[in-house]
Amino acid sequence: MPAALFPNGGGSRAASGESSSAASAQPSSQQQPAVITRGLVRNYSSFRSQLPVLKGFDMTAERGQIYALLGPSGSGKSTLVKLLMGRLSIHGGSCTVLGATPGTQGHPVPGSAIGYMPQDLALYGEFTTMETLRYFAMLNGMNDKQLNERADFLLRFLDMVHLKHRLVNAMSGGQQRRVSLAAALLHQPKLLLLDEPTVGVSSVLRARIWSHLLELVKTTDTTVIITTHYIDEARQADRVGMMGDGRLLVEDTPANLLRQYQRDSLEDVFLRVCQEAESSEEIADHVASLHEEQEESIAQHGGDPERAHRINSNDDDAKTPLLGASGARSDSKKVRSLVPTEAQARKDGICSRIGQGVKEYFYSFVRDARWAKPRNVKAMLWKNFTRLRRNYLLLLFQFLLPAVQIILFCTAIGPNPEGLHMAIVNHDAPGGFGDLYLSYLDSSTITQVPVASHDLGVAGVRAGDYWGVIDIGSNFTDDLILRFVNQTTVTPDIIIGSSINVTMDMTNQQVAIILEQKITEAFQTLVHTLLTLSGLDPELGDLPVRIMPPIYGEVNPRFTDFILPAMIINIAFAMSIGLTAMSFVLEKKEGLLDRTWAAGVSPGEVLIGHTLIQFCVLVVQLGLLLLFSLVVFSAPMEGSFILVLILSLLLGLAGMAFGLLISSVSKDEATAVQLALSSFYPVLLLSGVLWPVEAIPTGLNYISFILPTRWASDAMRSLMSRGWSLDHVDVWAGFVATIVCIVVLMILALRGISSRD
């Protein structure tokens, strides 16, 4: 008997002769179909709403057959394939693949039991054909002998011998499609999942692919499930399933479908099936609307279904009540209990979505909670290393960028500015103290420009020609002598006359501070000279505040000595974000990760593969960074170099973990780049790199507390400038905060990868 049509996807199929009890029974592995789904449900949900994709999906794919799944774009075909691979959780119903539920502990699905060819090419363009096959052979546990034998066969079988050592990105679309098929067939899987394999290829290549599949099922026990929206080509399949709106509408052999619906092509059959499904949907919607009207009427009449029935039956003869009077009377309590309030329904919906989200969260961790397989980690390392060495210019750039940054920082930040123009107004007598004072000004920092008057100097400052005006009065020498000799008779005019008036442009704080320092130092030198010439102790001219030798640091510290330790930390953190922020974006976008998941690789193994390879790059980066900082630019190093190196590596790992998190939650390159760039300045400004954290407002200080770079910056300063060790809280707090950050970010990144499968 041909298969019946089930628009709701929930009934049993007469063609298959299967019932729910039969489906629950577990036949022997030799007789059991390769794939059985019953009432399969899958939703894509957010906090506010749920989008059902599969709605009670039932299908049966026998072993050693080609099962063609037909349906329009957006009908749920790709979602079904991912469920069969075990990469998505099941929200309802059951799914058995090769005798067990996908993802069951010890079950090779996902794993070597399936071969997956996604709709997209999903190939690494940096690999040759042979390297592509080697990668998937490593994932599926094949040794070199098995790889070579299968590769030789497939290259001849698919007419690709001449493409063996050609890069994938140098091939045509048809050639790439054949490489993708070869990767799926390589390890001779028991189940072959082909998601739209003939999309975008020529009719000749489409015929070749089907020819290969037909030959495959004839000579082996392989089951092939192929999704397509090219309907007529499915006539070559052993069994055809037609789906729409997340349900399997009908499944049977092509010949039976053509005979049952009396059509000449499967396309006409599919059209008829869809029309019948739409008609059934309309009937179901009408019944549901009548049921809703009846519930509203019962609610409006105090929950009395009998009274509601009497009123409705008299209103309009065309309306048929859902419940009769007698039936309503006998079941009044039951009906009343089935009418939830709107608030209760909303509450139940939110609770259901929260519960589903929690279930999905724990499912992903239980599914991936296993020790990493060495062969999978080895394959990840080989793949990442091969891709990295093929992009050698990018690799060289990554090696040198941190060193270039520290070179630019140490050469451009810290030294005193030179050639600052100052307008000089000197009305003192020639050869007097005014000329002597001007000779003591640092000539490398200050360039003196004589002007005739104070007003001209101010006009030059307003025009941007000078940084300030130094004005020396006409009686400066005489008044300065009187100020020091006859201190008891000094008048305000003498004080004013013996003073040097400085008017400055204060818009640049650093320049202003340096100019004030140089001007003050010159006057201090002048006072020391005059006291010495008078036979007095020059220290009489010093302030009565003595700055003793510092406990840590130097008497005249450099600005770079404060910033450099924290800058090393932030460069290590920021550059490491760049190493990993794009790790998964392109692989997810191009479907490369789907093939990895299908081979049984866990998100943890993917993280390990990326982290270990990029850690090697990080070691080289930090080696060059510390070499230039400590050796070339003589940064202070009072503490343990080993602790400095370990802390730098930990910050690098924290940056890599943050980059992996960004990569795991980003859908495209633009999003990843924006997230990485937008995080740089908040981290830089709130970590105490450029300014002490004690000056940060209270609200921002709370944010600063959660940044690992803040604690690590303090620890690095304590190690390099103070010589402290791990027995001091400022040091070990930096290590602890960084390690905690790494663990948290890695867990979030793992969750991000798992949740977006």
Q: In sequence order, which residues have a C-beta less than 8 Å from that of residue 239 and are 6 or more positions away? A: 61, 62, 65, 66, 67, 68, 251, 252, 253
Residue 642 is which amino acid? I
Residue 256 is which amino acid? N
Evaluate whether 603 touches 754 at the Cβ level (below 8 Å). Answer: yes
Q: What was the pLDDT predicted at 583? A: 84
Token code pair at residue 133:
């096959």
Q: What percentage of the chain has pLDDT greater than the value 90?
A: 50
DSSP 608: H
pLDDT one-digit tens code per residue, 245-278: 889 999 999 999 999 999 888 888 988 898 888 7
- 129-143, 191-205, 398-412, 501-515: range with lowest mean pLDDT: 191-205
Token code pair at residue 348:
């139940």
- Report the pLDDT averaged over residues 578-604: 88
Q: What was the pLDDT predicted at 161? A: 93
DSSP 142: -
Q: What was the pLDDT predicted at 47? A: 52
Count other C-beta atoms under 10 Å from residue 499's C-beta. 16
pLDDT one-digit tens code per residue, 350-383: 555 555 555 555 555 555 546 788 999 999 999 9
- Report the pLDDT averaged over residues 204-233: 85
Q: What was the pLDDT predicted at 11? A: 34
For 473, 601, 612, 660, the CA distances from 373, given in Å and listed in that order, are 85, 8, 15, 21
Q: What percentage of the chain has pLDDT greater than the value 70?
A: 83
Residue 174 is which amino acid? G
Whole-model pTM?
0.76
d(CA 357, CA 317): 47
Q: In sequence order, which residues have a C-beta less than 8 Å from that of residue 355 and are 6 or more positions away? A: none
Q: Please, which residues bridge with residue 450 across strands?
A: 424
d(CA 523, CA 483): 15
Q: Please, which residues bridge with residue 117 across strands?
A: 194
- Report the pLDDT averaged over residues 43-48: 67
- The b-or-e profile of 435-463 (16+ CB within 10 A means b, else e) is ebbbebbbeebbeeeebeebeebbebbee
Q: What was the pLDDT predicted at 534? A: 83
- Report the pLDDT averaged over residues 36-51: 80
Confidence of residue 713 (pLDDT cuts 50, 70, 90): very high
Q: What was the pLDDT predicted at 358? A: 55
Cα-Cα end-to-end distance for the chain: 40
Q: What was the pLDDT predicted at 318? A: 40
The values of phi and psi at residue 46, to 5°, are -125, -175
For 369, 488, 526, 527, the CA distances from 483, given in Å and listed in that order, are 84, 9, 14, 12
Q: Is the confidence at residue 716, as pLDDT, over 70?
A: yes
Pick from 229, 195, 204: which is nearest to 120 by CA? Answer: 195
The values of phi and psi at residue 636, to 5°, are -65, 140
Q: What was the pLDDT predicted at 21? A: 34
d(CA 269, CA 241): 11
- Go through the domains of the chain in sequence order and give each one's CATH number: 31-275 (3.40.50.300), 393-410+558-589+617-755 (no CATH), 420-541 (3.40.1710)
d(CA 722, CA 640): 11
Query: Does residue 276 sit in helix, strand or coil?
Result: helix
Query: Does residue 580 sit in helix, strand or coil?
Result: helix
pLDDT one-digit tens code per residue, 71-96: 887 888 888 998 998 888 888 999 99
Confidence of residue 163 (pLDDT cuts 50, 70, 90): very high
Pick from 73, 71, 100: which is nearest to 84 by CA? Answer: 100
Q: What was the pLDDT predicted at 112? A: 92
Q: Is the confidence at residue 698, as pLDDT, over 60?
A: yes
Helix H, strand E, coil C: the string for 629-696 is HHHHCCCCCCCCHHHHHHHHHHHHHHHHHHHHHHHHHCCCHHHHHHHHHHHHHHHHHHCCCCCCHHHC
Q: What was the pLDDT predicted at 48? A: 58
- How would you list the strands of the sheet with 239-244, edge to edge? 114-117, 191-195, 223-228, 66-70, 239-244, 247-252
Evaluate whether 732 touches 726 at the Cβ level (below 8 Å). Answer: yes
- As a whole number, the mean pLDDT across the chain is 83
Residue 697 is which amino acid? P
Q: What was the pLDDT predicted at 755? A: 66
Q: What was the pLDDT predicted at 321? A: 38
Token code pair at residue 646:
């370990």
Evaluate whether 436 touches 523 at the Cβ level (below 8 Å). Answer: no
What would the DSSP string read from start to end of 503-520? EE--SSHHHHHHHHHHHH
Q: In sequence order, which residues have a C-beta less than 8 Å from that of residue 544 and are 6 or more positions away? A: none
Q: Is the confidence at residue 757, as pLDDT, over 50?
A: no
Q: Is the confidence at residue 5, as pLDDT, over 80?
A: no
Cis amide linkage into residue 110, ω under 30° from 0: yes
Q: What was the pLDDT predicted at 281? A: 55
Count other C-beta atoms under 10 Å from residue 697's C-beta. 8
Q: What was the pLDDT predicted at 331? A: 42
Q: What was the pLDDT predicted at 313? A: 46
Q: What's the chain's Rg over C-alpha atoms?
A: 40
- 118-132, 296-310, 460-474: range with lowest mean pLDDT: 296-310
Q: What was the pLDDT predicted at 362? A: 53
Confidence of residue 300 (pLDDT cuts 50, 70, 90): low
Confidence of residue 288 (pLDDT cuts 50, 70, 90): very low
- 137-146, 297-306, 510-519: range with lowest mean pLDDT: 297-306
Token code pair at residue 279:
């008609």
Q: In sequence order, which residues have a C-beta less than 8 Å from that of residue 63 and are 6 or more positions away? A: 32, 33, 34, 221, 223
pLDDT one-digit tens code per residue, 309-343: 444 444 444 443 333 333 433 443 333 343 444 45
Which residue in this structure is represented by tokens 């003073």?
499
- 271-285, 525-539, 586-600: range with lowest mean pLDDT: 271-285
d(CA 373, CA 733): 34
